[in-house]
Structure 1
Amino acid sequence: MKSFARLRLSDWIFAVLMLTLAVVCVFLGSWQMERLAEKDALVAAVDSRITAAPIPVPPPESWGSLNTEDLVYQPVELTGAYRYTQTTTVFTSLSDPKGQYSGPGYWVMTPFELQGGGTVFVNRGFVPQQYQETAALGDLHGEDPGTVTISGVLRTPETPGFMTPEADMSNRIEWVRDPERLAKMTDPALAPIAPFYVDLPAGATGELPQAGETVVSFSNNHFGYALTWYGFAIVAVVMLGFWLARQARQPVSGP
């Protein structure tokens, strides 16, 4: 019978690789726990800010360096004028509405030109799909109010995925609420465009667009991911121990 001291070089190389794998799994588990702490802090910050009084919208001179994550779901106040004829629509399917309308439809994203310069896209709310053309033509607002002060919730851009289609420029249809993409369908004179958009609060019952559909939610699976990585680390070490013990018990082969 051979002892652990007589294990072959290849055995020790395999053992080192398995231990390295376990260390990597522990590192990834710890990283997920750090992300969990960050997400918990973000949720706590959002819970405190979403009910706060509106603050002035960040000015255009700050947009280039603005970290929108620090202001997500922050109520903001804007003074300026809607540019209804520059409205774009973003396809969605509203499955759990707060208002009376739901199903396939569109977010109505209208540029709001700030009094001091610069433009912020305002999500005026949801319309069923049969109102898309009317919304895109800017005909869902009644009389133009001119310069107004509005308030809403600041939102970060939606990130297009690998399979996200290009915009339907002729029908003014987009697939994500991303100001950078939406800006391609607006008058260049409205530049600069804010790197965020604003959701309006709910209006009168039955009013279109149907605002107030903001959903505050965060994907938070970090604890489960951490347990998975730690579990892999434990399994790797236990299996390595059994394997080394088996190898040590094998008789020496050869002459």
Structure 2
Amino acid sequence: MKDRMMPSPKNEQPVQKSSSRFFIGLFSVLGAVFFLLFIGLGIWQVERLQWKLDLIERVDARVHAEPVAAPGRDDWANVNQKDDEYRRVTLTGTYLNDKEILVHALTERGAGYWVLTPMRSPDGALTFINRGFVPSDRRDPSSRHETQIAGETTVTGLLRMPEPDGFFLRPNDPARNDWNSRDVAAFAQKFNLGQVAPYFIDADANSAAGALPIGGLTVVKFRNSHLSYAITWFALAAMVAGAAIFLWRHERKSSNM
């Protein structure tokens, strides 16, 4: 009786082969899905790489171009990041020094503040100018009387788009006059300025050495890791393909035994 109940090795072999083929088939389907996914992600990163290189080239050309007149009130609605950010512009007007805004800054010169002051153009339009950096011990305007430029002046710099709502975990607090991002709409609301330009201008470096605020500190640098990401995705696709070939050869060898 015991001999009859013991499975025959001949009967086990078809069951083992069937189970093996099922798992290999399942792996093949999953492998194909992941292979196509990794290839798709790799191609997407290559496309993003080309986009980033085009962006860097476009911005570099703007930064080193001759300055043009800053967009006036009639053109404000058309100003956008893609076409206008980092364009070199020039603007003439009068600073409203009593409405200066200080924004927390961390620069190559240490911690301090960006000094943003609204400039009134001859036609009455208001545009915030990031005049540059001042260290923390020069926060109070009374400690830097020379920075309070009176009368009409001309500024040249880079057109920048605003940074609304503050930064993650560090929101702006207008009630306390504590600013962590350059949100021109919030600045205007703080001082009841009405409509202001939907951009601000990062002023160029001052001609006088050591003069405050220190302009020309705009960092024009874009992170570009798309090539390494693309290589990673293609490498993962190659690993999946290699594993599939290994299993296929192993199964073929087993079938011939």
What TM-score do the two structures reach when normalised by structure 1?
A: 0.80
Cα offset, 1:51, TM superposition = 2.1
In the alignment, the residues of structure 2 paired with residue 112 and residue 226 of structure 1 have an alpha-carbon distance, to the nearest angstrom, of: 46
Report what 1:130 is aligned to. Answer: 137
1:173 aligned partner, one-letter code: D
- Does 2:226 correspond to 1:219? no
Preserved contact between residue 69 and residue 156 of structure 1 (Cα < 8 Å):
no
Identify the match of residue 112 of structure 2 among 83, 97, 105: 105
What is the SS of the residue equivalent to 2:82? helix
Cα offset, 1:168, TM superposition = 5.2
- Does 2:95 correspond to 1:82? yes
Identify the match of residue 19 of structure 1 among 8, 32, 46: 32
Report what 1:233 is aligned to. Answer: 237
Aligned length: 239
RCO higher in structure (CA 8 A, sep ≥6): 1
> CA 1:50/1:84 → structure 2, altered by over 3 Å: closer, same or farther?
same
Report what 1:198 is aligned to. Answer: 201
Identify the match of residue 144 of structure 1 among 144, 147, 150: 150
Cα offset, 1:66, TM superposition = 2.4
1:82-103, CA deviations, whole angstroms, 9 ceiling, x for partnerless residues? 22222111111222xxxxxx22
2:171 aligned partner, one-letter code: P
What is the SS of the residue equivalent to 1:182? helix
Cα offset, 1:209, TM superposition = 0.8
1:130 aligned partner, one-letter code: D
What's the % identity of the aligned pairs?
A: 32
What TM-score do the two structures reach when normalised by structure 2?
A: 0.79
1:236 aligned partner, one-letter code: V
Structure with greater helix share of residues: 2
1:44-98, CA deviations, whole angstroms, 9 ceiling, x for partnerless residues? 2222222221111122333334222322222111132222222111111222xxx
Identify the match of residue 163 of structure 1 among 152, 169, 172: 169
Report what 1:186 is aligned to. Answer: 191
In the alignment, the residues of structure 2 paired with residue 12 and residue 119 of structure 1 have an alpha-carbon distance, to the nearest angstrom, of: 68
Preserved contact between residue 86 and residue 138 of structure 1 (Cα < 8 Å):
no
What is the SS of the residue equivalent to 2:173? coil
Q: Which runs of 5+ in 1 are unaligned?
A: 96-101
Preserved contact between residue 24 and residue 247 of structure 2 (Cα < 8 Å):
no
What is the SS of the residue equivalent to 2:48? helix
> CA 1:105/1:27 → structure 2, altered by over 3 Å: closer, same or farther?
same
In the alignment, the residues of structure 2 paired with residue 35 and residue 230 of structure 1 have an alpha-carbon distance, to the nearest angstrom, of: 15
**CA RMSD in angstroms, aligned pairs only:** 3.0
> CA 1:16/1:195 → structure 2, altered by over 3 Å: closer, same or farther?
farther
Identify the match of residue 94 of structure 1 among 94, 99, 107: 107
What is the SS of the residue equivalent to 2:155? strand
> CA 1:195/1:15 → structure 2, altered by over 3 Å: closer, same or farther?
farther
Report what 2:126 is aligned to. Answer: 119
1:122-160, CA deviations, whole angstroms, 9 ceiling, x for partnerless residues? 11010011222328x995533511x33322111233474
Preserved contact between residue 199 and residue 214 of structure 1 (Cα < 8 Å):
yes
Preserved contact between residue 68 and residue 196 of structure 1 (Cα < 8 Å):
no
In the alignment, the residues of structure 1 paired with residue 193 and residue 247 of structure 2 have an alpha-carbon distance, to the nearest angstrom, of: 67
In the alignment, the residues of structure 1 paired with residue 241 and residue 141 of structure 2 have an alpha-carbon distance, to the nearest angstrom, of: 64
Report what 1:71 is aligned to. Answer: 84
Cα offset, 1:240, TM superposition = 3.2
